[in-house]
Amino acid sequence: MAALEPKSPAIVPTLDGMVPQFRILTTRTGVLFGSGPLNKVAGDSMTAQGVSIFILYGSTEGGIMNPVLPVMLVNWHIYHLSDYIDSLINSNSFCKPSVINTNIDAYTASDLFTSHPTKTGYWRVHGRTNDQTMHNTGEKTNLGPLDQLNNAENKLNQDSHVIASVMFGRGRFQAGIIVDPKPTF
């Protein structure tokens, strides 16, 4: 039996490119993380060095939603959700969400999942249904209320110097924005 050392996504991505630290992590059973997405480049780099990465997916409202043991890895960023989880966490004798936010006795998270093409029951988080961007630190940027006009993209897109803009930041340390200026600028 071995223990998994707890690591936050805020710590793990800083190890990218630090080969001596990867060697230490390869001697452990694995790195367990949660609270936000691990940058895919960092995760791919770590697994290429032989580090086993385990996702702990959960929420304050519903608790831990994926089994970690026994190990059922397909790829480090794809995981198996518990059998009582569908798109909702339904109340049952095993689990009762601390928050009910639907008109049935269930909790629905704002995460969007993509199913594995060949492995039934395996998923990865693709994004969010709301305006929140999850950073690799576990912090969230709530893009909606950044201004009175719904979001920062709308405000920038209304500027006479801008053709279009898009905000990003999922799995990254901070939010960013790409601006396509009009040709005269």
Q: Which of 1-15, 67-81, 143-157, 161-175 has the highest mean pLDDT?
A: 161-175
Average pLDDT rounded to a whole number, residues 90-105: 82
pLDDT at 84: 60
Would you say residue 61 has pLDDT above 80? no
Contacts of 52 (CB under 8 A, 6+ apart): 28, 29, 30, 31, 73, 76
Would you say residue 12 has pLDDT above 60? no
**Edge-to-edge strands of the sheet including 31-33?**
5-6, 31-33, 53-55
Q: Which residue has the higher pLDDT, 154 or 149?
A: 154
Q: Which residue's entry shows tokens 């630090």?
A: 18
pLDDT band with cut points at 50, 70 and 90 for residue 147:
very low
Strand partners, 53: 31
Nearest Cα residue to 13 out of 124, 122, 174, 161: 174
